[in-house]
Structure 1
Amino acid sequence: MKRANHFDTIADVFNRIWYFSDDYKDFIISHIHTDLALCSNDILADIGGGTGSFTSRLADEAHLLRAYCIEPSSAMCDEAAKLSNVTAVCSDAYTFLASQVPFTKMLFKEVIHHINDRENFWKSAYKSLPDNGKILIITRPQNIAFPFFEAAKIEFSRNQPSQEVLETQLRHGGFFITSHQRSHTFTLAKKDWYTMLRHRFMSDLGVFNDQEIEEGIVEIEQKHPGETIDILDNLIFITATKQL
């Protein structure tokens, strides 16, 4: 995973700006529970877990044996370390895997595009997982439905591996694959959406300077009049299970 230095600058406000709705969080969490089949005997490795907010909630609700938040941004990891039910590890995915820390389930929530050489990574992960261990990837189609400006949509598509590529790589790594496409729609005040864009809440926005972000907001404003904006989030959930 590439070191997410951009997130060092927004770690203290990340939970506030990367916020859609309680219903949205419930939607994501419920499907993680189901797809990973989390139980009290599990050790979860949340790769790129950021400030650990999702890691902590999963640990609490599933009564996990242990929950690791693996995060390469030191500032984000410092925020996760404040959580009493999370073990924060400032590390990239490869370094964590090489440490041979045991885990039974692994989560990649919206970070899979940061993992290089995924073919070899999946082979190593397969060896590290116990029988019936699982990996869950939560990602998006290359054509994102978010109300981004056009250049941001292009940048997202350029960085995002396709569902077909991810599934093929996982199968080559030895995993049995199941996939689901799920959608959630919510409404935000446009000022809140624009705040998220200005803070570059997704790494794909990090390539744009302040002027380009403001020009992009003007572009969005022309297409979406009014005080609120409807946001459709199309998500892909890919579950990989180790079956001997």
Structure 2
Amino acid sequence: MAQTNHFDSIAEVFNRIWYFSDDYKDFVIHHIREDLSLTPEDILVDIGGGTGTFTSRLADEAHLTHAYCVEPSSSMCSEAAKHENITAVCCDADDFLASHTPFSKMLFKEVIHHIPNRAEFWKTLYASFQNGGKLLIITRPQEIKFPFFEAAKVEFARNQPPFTMIEAELKASGFEVNVIPRSHTFTLSKESWYEMLRHRFMSDLRVFSDQEIEKGIAEIEENRKGNETIDIIDNLIFITATKT
């Protein structure tokens, strides 16, 4: 996984700026638990788990004894290590597999575009799983519905692999694959959304200078005069792959 310096720079404020709503978190957590069929006997690995917020909550709600937050950014990993019910591991996905640490379930939440050489990675992952092992990828379509400025939408699409490509890669590696699109709409104040943009809460925004971000915010503002809140539609794609 790449772009660790970007996440190092926002680690201390990440939980605050990457905040949509409690409702949104409940929505995502519920479907992760259901799609991964998490049980207390499972060992969960959250690849690119950031500050460990989701990893820790999944461990708590599924009563997991072992859960790993695997995060290559040292600053983010330090934040994750503050959660007492998970193990924070500062490395990338390839290095974690190379460690031969046992696991039964694996989560990739909005990080799949950071995995290089995916086809080879899936083959290694397939071999690492016991029968019944399962992974869940949460990603988005290339045409994002977030209230981004146009240049940000283009950058996001450029970085985001089509989910059909991911599906084909997983099937070619031997996995049984299931794809479910889900959508969640929530409302934020404009200032909260603009703060997220200014902090470049998604790595796709890292290429824009402060001036370009402000110009982009002005573009969004021009289209939303008189509105103090922004409705945000998050179209997510849940890809489950099982070794049978």
Which band: TM-score by shorter chain? over 0.9
Extract structure 1 runs of 4+ deviating beyond 3 A.
none
Query: Over aligned residue pairs, what C-alpha RMSD do you find?
Result: 0.6
Partner of 2:243: 242
Paired positions, count: 243
Partner of 1:23: 23
* 1:5-64: CA deviation from partner (whole Å, max 9, x where unpaired): 111111111000000000000000000000000000000000000000000000000011
TM-score normalised by structure 2 residue count: 0.99
Q: CA deviation at 1:65?
A: 2.4
Partner of 1:168: 168
Partner of 2:177: 177
* Structure 1 unpaired stretches of 5+: none
TM-score normalised by structure 1 residue count: 0.99
Distance 2:173 2:194 in 1: 40
Q: CA deviation at 1:3?
A: 4.1
Q: CA deviation at 1:76?
A: 0.2
Partner of 2:232: 231
Distance 1:224 1:20 in 2: 19
1:220 aligns with 2:220: yes
Q: Give yes or no for contact 2:3–2:203 (8 Å, CA) kept in 1.
A: no
Aligned AA for 1:237?
F
Q: Give yes or no for contact 1:3–1:72 (8 Å, CA) kept in 2.
A: no
Aligned AA for 2:112?
I
1:130 aligns with 2:109: no
Aligned AA for 2:230?
I
Q: CA deviation at 1:104?
A: 0.3
* 1:150-194: CA deviation from partner (whole Å, max 9, x where unpaired): 000000000000011000000011100001000000000000000
Q: Where in structure 2 are the equivalents of 1:1-244 lying within 5 Å?
A: 1-225=1-225, 226-243=227-244
* 1:118-151: CA deviation from partner (whole Å, max 9, x where unpaired): 0000000011111111010000000000000000
Aligned AA for 1:227?
E
* Structure 2 unpaired stretches of 5+: none
